[in-house]
């Protein structure tokens, strides 16, 4: 294995760990919510957000970051095992699924009116 592969695998592993950490924080409902609705709203809007809406934002962020973590983990395994085609295709499907999920949930929540 070449040195650039190890460096690339470490970077991907750090990204996967970060995504899993953010997903865990969203699962425990602690910390900031990393969604557009949360990030673009004012402090007053966040304070007045009803519980159902806040739960939906946490669920969206949790699911998205968990799937992103799985995708980055698959990329890491692909680089380390040199089975790049197999694991990159799995990661590509995961990234596509998370993009579709985020758009569908955004439309369902009524943000695109």
Would you state the pLDDT for residue 87?
85
Scored b (16 or more CB within 10 A) or e, 18-57 reads: ebbebbebbeeeeeebbbebbeebeeeeeeebeeeeeebb
Domain layout of the chain by residue ranges: 3-109
Is pLDDT above 70 for 69? yes
Residue-wise pLDDT for 36-63, tens only, equals 777 777 888 877 888 888 888 888 889 9
Averaged pLDDT, 86-113: 82
- pLDDT for 10 beyond 90: yes
Residue 104 pLDDT exceeds 90 = no
> What pLDDT score was predicted for residue 4?
87
Q: Model confidence at 20, in pLDDT bands (50, 70, 90)?
A: very high
pLDDT at 56: 83
Q: Is the pLDDT of residue 113 over 60?
A: no
């Amino acid at each position: 294995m070449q040195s650039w592969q190890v460096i690339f695998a470490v970077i991907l592993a750090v990204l996967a760990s970060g995504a899993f950490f953010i997903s865990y924080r969203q699962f425990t409902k602690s910390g900031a919510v990393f969604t557009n609705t949360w990030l673009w709203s004012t402090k007053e809007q966040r304070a007045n957000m009803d519980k159902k809406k806040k739960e939906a934002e946490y669920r969206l962020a949790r699911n998205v970051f968990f799937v992103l973590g799985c995708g980055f983990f698959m990329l890491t395994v692909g680089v380390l095992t040199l089975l790049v085609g197999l694991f990159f295709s799995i990661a590509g499907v995961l990234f596509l699924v998370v993009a579709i999920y985020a758009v569908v949930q955004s439309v369902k929540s009524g943000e695109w009116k």
